[in-house]
Amino acid sequence: MNAAFKSQIRTAIEAFVEAGGSAAQVARKAGLNDAYISLIRNGKDSETVKNEHWIKIARALDVRFDSWQTVETQNLRIVTQVLADAKDTSLFMAVSHNAGSGKSLACREFATSNSGQAVYLYRVEHGETNKVDFLRSLAQALGIDTKGRGYLSANRLAEICIDFFVRRLDQAPLLIIDEADKLTDKALRFFISLYNAVEGRMGCVILGTENLKKKIKSGVFHNRNGFDEIDSRFGRRFIRLVGVTKQECRAICAANGIDSNKIADALFEECEPITNSYNMRVLRDLRPLERKIKRELLKEIESSEALIPAGSAQ
pLDDT tens profile 52-104: 888 888 878 877 665 678 899 999 999 999 999 999 999 999 999 999 999 99
53/132 same-domain check: no
30 and 154 part of one domain: no
How much of the chain, in percent, has pLDDT values that exceed 70?
Answer: 92
Q: Are 156 and 262 contained in the same domain?
A: no
User: Both 60 and 85 in a single domain?
Assistant: no
Please check whether residue 307 lies inside any domain of the structure. no
pLDDT in tens, 186-236: 999 999 999 999 999 999 999 999 999 999 999 999 999 999 999 999 999
174: β partners: 119, 203
Please count the structural domains in the chain.
Answer: 3
139 in the same domain as 100: yes
Look at residues 67, 95, 111 and tell me which one is the last residue of a structural domain.
67
268 in the same domain as 147: no
Domain housing 260: 242-285
Tell me whether residue 28 is in a domain.
yes
What confidence tens digit (pLDDT) does each residue in 271-305 have?
Answer: 999 999 899 999 999 999 999 998 887 776 666 55
Chain-centroid distance of CA 89 in Å reads: 25
Residue 46: is it exposed, middle or buried by C-beta count within 10 angstroms (0-12/13-18/19+)?
A: exposed
CATH number at residue 50: 1.10.260
Using an 8 Å Cβ cutoff, are 275 and 281 in contact?
yes
Mapped to the 3 state alphabet, what secondary structure does 225-245 carry? Answer: CCHHHHHHHCCCCCECCCCEC
Task: Please tell me whether residues 56 and 19 are part of one structural domain.
Answer: yes
- Domain end (from 67, 89, 110): 67
Out of 67, 92, 123, pick the residue that ends a domain: 67
